[in-house]
Amino acid sequence: MGEKMKKICLMLCACLFLAGCGNYSSEDALKDFEKKVEDTKGYNLTGELEISNNDDIYKYDVEASYAKDDKFRVSLKNKTNNHEQIILKNSDGVYVMTHKSTQLL
């Protein structure tokens, strides 16, 4: 049984060695990545944005969508008061939309 185990270990080591000796370089990986970016038609992102201004900290939920030909939509929603601002760029131009607050002063 010991001899059989040695052969199996030797075969596994040989397979791992051969698998690690491929010709795929970092340049190849970069070219593949650039190709995928060029072929991408769009993407969506979500995240959180935190802005520090002196002692004040503002937190926003962010949603961004991008489509080929430099069209995009970015939504910034204040976590404290739920005010939302949208930045939109399409073939007609760039627009910034702010929802009117219905709060009474």
* Band of pLDDT at residue 20, cut at 50, 70 and 90: low
Judge if pTM exceeds 0.75: no
Q: In what order do the strands lie in the sheet with 71-78?
A: 42-53, 56-67, 71-78, 84-90, 93-98
pLDDT (tens digit, 9 = 90+) per residue, 62-96? 999 999 888 999 999 999 888 999 999 998 999 99
Q: 83 and 101 in contact (C-beta within 8 Å)?
A: yes
